[in-house]
Amino acid sequence: MRSRQTTGQHTLPSLVPVTGAVPPPGHRPPEEHLPELQQALLARFDANARPLPWRRHYTPYEVWISEIMLQQTQMERGVSYFLRWMERFPDLPALAAASEEEVLHAWEGLGYYSRARNLLAAARLVMREHGGIFPSDPEAIRALPGIGPYTTAAIASIAFNLPVACIDANAERVIARVFDVDSPVKSGPAAARIAELARRLLPEGEARRHNQAMMELGALVCGKKPRCGQCPLARFCTALHLGIVHERPVPGKKAEITPIEVVTGVLSSHDRVFVQKRLPQGAWGGLWEFPGGRVEPGETPEQAVVREFAEETGFTVRVTAPLGIIRHGYTTYRVRLHCFALELVTDATPQPPEPPVLTAATACRWLERGELESLAMPALHRRTGDGMACARRSPGRRTGPVHLSKVEPHGSAPYWMPGLSAAALPEKSAPKADFSASGHEKRLDRPPILSLYGCPKWRGSHCRIILMQNMRSQRGGLNRPPFFCTCDRADAQEGT
């Protein structure tokens, strides 16, 4: 049984898990039946291939952009970003002519911003040295900025159908199980064996279909929770025959996760906020941000944000309100970002002052909050700015009861929000789903923090940050209600 998921205009198939991993009768050793295995794999791909947008024409530009985007990115999210990217930069000349600011802004939310800068550098190099034609030679592809061995193989095989084996984590998992690779797959001997097996598996003239088939099988069927009952290679799979599917691939040593406490502050003066452009080096190089940094031992977050502003800008500031805590995970880090609203200790000038120094930035600006949308910012700082805007719109200092209405969006769980219709909301925040009020109402003796955006719980920062994330996701084009609140439903509904 196959269900389908919709992403924009594209419908992506997903498979229903099958419990148990029972080997089929008559195991066929894979190395003795390679042609049969190849045909079974290709037949499954032909019947079940996802209609991904870059598969319409397999142009080198589209394949290249998709491969870079899908690094560290889930497929559904990658499709959404890919479609918007192609609207803004439809071909290689359009990308090469863009500014770095435009490219970073289009990339915002995907993270690892060096990828975006490398895309721009590679596009300009192709225009300059290859006459605007994306190179087909693997060595020339490998020489482009930001392209490593895997991406070279993916572009060469998928865009040009060259006989190059493509091995990502999904293909690696399939090979490790089918051929029972019994040592950590990232180790030298195991990696070499997997590479050799991948080359032997590659059928002549079918690199494009085969590599995509292998990676898609690993993503949708032979995943971390394998669906062996739906796998076309089950009768060849040695790990399934031996009953050790869940022991393959053999993992390596897990990377240690380092917790990091950091702070940032939104400094306001004369209805404008202060932002600075980061130095070119580092993961967020060239992006705009609110100043901040790490919490030092013995410091409170409030003390840290005041110190960071003094060190980076020379401004003497004080905290006026907390904006909440944003939690975010990276490959080897777990970040807790403490966000604060700030003001200048002395603000006697008729307009926002220039900072005495800039030690961690190349430029700075005082902007109205609506102007932040035009800047390329890290996702964490974008959420901080969203939270500040919400906090200013909320009637948090108002006294008296607030009416809440129960909203029941189609296809999503109901939630409570103040008695505002979707038509009364800002156009950019209007929900994409159809909303209808159920007629239920509650009264809170104290107002919610973010009443305009529907958060019915006034204490704590958890719900505020989740709300900010979903507001940002709505602008990013994902189909989820921008007012969703993850507060405890019973607590929120009763207003206790």
Q: Which of 31, 62, 67, 343 is catalytic?
A: 67
Distances (CA, A) of 456 to 7, 106, 240: 30, 33, 51
Q: Return the closest-CA partner of residue 16 out of 197, 201, 311, 220.
A: 220
Report residue 145 CA to chain centroid gap.
22
Range 188-197, long-range pairs (CB < 8 A, 24+ positions):
190/250, 194/167, 195/165, 195/167
User: Sign of the C-alpha dihedral, residues 175, 176, 180, 183?
Assistant: positive
As a whole number of angstroms, the distance between CA 286 and CA 279 comes to: 6
* Residue indicated by tokens 């004080």: 318
The partner residues of 341 in beta bridges, in order of sequence, read: 266, 321
Asked if residue 122 lies in contact with residue 146, where contact means CB atoms within 8 angstroms, the answer is yes
Residue 256 bears catalytic tag: no
Q: Return the closest-CA partner of residue 53 out of 69, 33, 36.
A: 69
Tokens of 400: 């008296």
Asked if residue 272 lies in contact with residue 366, where contact means CB atoms within 8 angstroms, the answer is yes
Tokens of 310: 């003094």
Amino acid at site 79: V
Report residue 356 CA to chain centroid gap.
36
Q: How far apart are the first and last CA of the chain?
A: 45
Q: Return the closest-CA partner of residue 206 out of 218, 217, 214, 216.
A: 214
Tokens of 119: 């895309």
As a whole number of angstroms, the distance between CA 118 and CA 146 comes to: 5
Tokens of 372: 């932040």
Give catalytic residue positions: 67
